[in-house]
Chain A
Amino acid sequence: MIEVKLTEKAIDPLACINWVMSDNSGGIDVFIGSVRSETNHRKVMRLEFEAYGEMALNKMNGIAKDVFDKWPVNKILIHHRIGILQIGEIPVLIAVAAAHRAAAFDACRYAIDTLKQNVPIWKKEVYEDGEIWVAAHP
């Protein structure tokens, strides 16, 4: 089973974990991204996330389907925030449930790494004295 979502509301880790848990899964792996207070020694005030919604959801669904092709997993959930996030909030959560832990670990790692490369979502870091679209410039 797959659940993929772009949301303007806070991500609830416990609700996500509960969604992937089931009696046939012995291992749950969870990746939680969190908004850091500092980047390259600059104090971050907040992050602003923007997505190409339809394509982002297509790509997130594609990642989830790839995971099922590559590993024996039972459930995967990928949630990503859009809009303004404060320090300590959760921009992304990926949870994978499998019968055994190795598949859950590997699939979760693959999902976050691929999301960061191919899902059309952008973040702007806002500092006290400026702002930057992350990865935009060399």
Chain B
Amino acid sequence: MTLRVLGFGIAREIFGAGIIQIDVEENISAGALKKFLETKFPTLKNLSSYRIAINTEFAETDDKITSEDEVAILPAVSGG
């Protein structure tokens, strides 16, 4: 399936764009998506941490993603 993934902060810079489009297996899990992205963008592995959000909620590793979902890559936050 084709998935649109939002990137913020340093993830946006690593992607080279605020939104990227990728082709992944149907119903990919958040954990598997991380692995996929780390293959495509190895510098993600240098980050202190990053989380995946599905439809504006922090995702667990096993959470499944469909092509309808809004998926975002959230590096360690640093607001305030």
Tell me if A138 is interfacial: C-beta within 8 Å of chain B: yes
Q: Which of A56, A118, A133 has the most CB of B within 10 A?
A: A133
Q: Is the CB of B8 within 8 A of A52?
A: yes
What band does the interface of chain B fall in when counting residues whose beta carbon is under 8 Å from A? 20 to 34
Q: Is the CB of A120 within 8 A of B77?
A: yes
Q: Which residues of A contact B10 (CB under 8 A)?
A: 122, 133, 136
Tell me if B78 is interfacial: C-beta within 8 Å of chain A: yes
Q: Is the CB of B72 within 8 A of A136?
A: no
Contact A49 B48, CB 8 Å, known A55-B53, A120-B8: no
Tell me if B46 is interfacial: C-beta within 8 Å of chain A: yes
Interface hits, B19-77 → A, CB 8 Å:
46-48, 53, 56-57, 72, 74-77
Q: Is the CB of A119 within 8 A of B46?
A: no
Q: Which positions in B face A, CB cutoff 8 Å?
A: 6, 8-10, 12-13, 46-48, 53, 56-57, 72, 74-80
